[in-house]
Amino acid sequence: MNARFTRRTLVLAAALAASGFGSLAQAQSAADIAKAKAEGTVVVYSTTDQKQISPLLKDFEALYPGLKVEYHDMNSTEVYNRFISESAVGPSADVVWSSAMDQAVKLVNDGYAQPYKLSDSSKLPDWAIWKNEAFGTTYEPIGFVYNKRLVDAAEVPKTHADFARLLVGKADKFKGKVVTYDPEKSGIGFMLHSQDALANSAGFWALARAMGQTGLRVQSSTGTMLERIASGENLIGYNMLGSYGLVRAAKDPSIGVAFPQDYTLVISRVTFIAKQARHPAAARLWVEYLLSQRGQSLIASQADLFAIRSDVTGDTTISGLQATLGKSLKPIPIAPALLTYLDQSKRLEFLKQWNSVKAPK
């Protein structure tokens, strides 16, 4: 995947013109577009870096002149807390777009979203839509990011069990050199680790124990982890967003990305329209755009976030991943099951167990 990463950007971009690229505006009624333009703005709270998503923002505003996207990027916990606190006293963002799938589903479950039926959902997986309120927009694999200069090719783990064996067998080399998301401070970190535990309970806790024995480092920022892996301060990152890792690897020869062959968790950034949205027509137009073939083609070719629509092709798409990773892919469905570990007692129990193995006595 890495070797073709930059080339496929050009291929996908060239394919846009032949893919019904201009059909999105035609799918929306003139009245809907007029209402959105009269509102003038759509306010989006998101965990996706604005720089990474800027091609979509520019394209959306070019497609609908006079309609602006007021885009705020924050970490997942900030998005969740800010949206709740603002909604308690009045309208907040028009649209939430979060990589912390469980937090987004909780907001929808708690009544913060309004229903909306997409004009075309036929190219989306069934599990990517919940109650016509929560929508999955990407298909992003979770894997290992490592320093290619300092981690030998033979050391790169092929499975979760391989990684645990590596850390036990080469404890001196990896002492203080393994990093992952902090589940206490990072919403996506908690979601990934808890979903990992659900997918492979015994294996996950054995691996967590092995990481803890090395003096595991934790961070809430993907960017910080990538910087520290690139510099050699850390050697390998676990449960990291493959989309961000591949973007960095395409321009930094010291970064490598690998996906476990036993199972690769896949997240989908979840979006919903706020129940109290100040600009509901503009919000609907934005969600339609994100999930249209046009928007998804740009998500794959420019934002490198892995398109979820089945009619968008290339390496950074659901079809591309299925071709390379096949049955090892384990997408996390947008469903009430995501709420399991957000129950306060279960969350505390999980964090207690995490901390006990992360910092063994």
Condensed to tens digits (0 to 9), the pLDDT of residues 264-296 reads 999 999 999 999 999 999 999 999 999 999 999
Please say if the pLDDT value at position 16 is more than 60: no
In sequence order, the 6+-apart residues with CB closer than 8 A to the CB of 352 are none
Task: Over range 302-310, report the average pLDDT.
Answer: 93
pLDDT score at 12: 44
Which pTM value belongs to this model?
A: 0.90
Residue 356 CA: distances (Å) to CA of 148, 196, 349: 31, 17, 11
Please report the domains of the chain, with CATH numbers, ordered by start residue. Answer: 2-139+268-316 (3.40.190.10), 141-266+339-358 (3.40.190.10)
Residue in 133, 157, 123, 327 with CA at minimum distance from that of residue 236: 157
Please say if the pLDDT value at position 170 is more than 80: yes
Q: What is the dihedral of CA 297, 42, 113, 54, to 10 degrees?
A: 30
- Given phi > 0 = left and psi -120 to 50 = alpha, else beta, which region is 140? beta
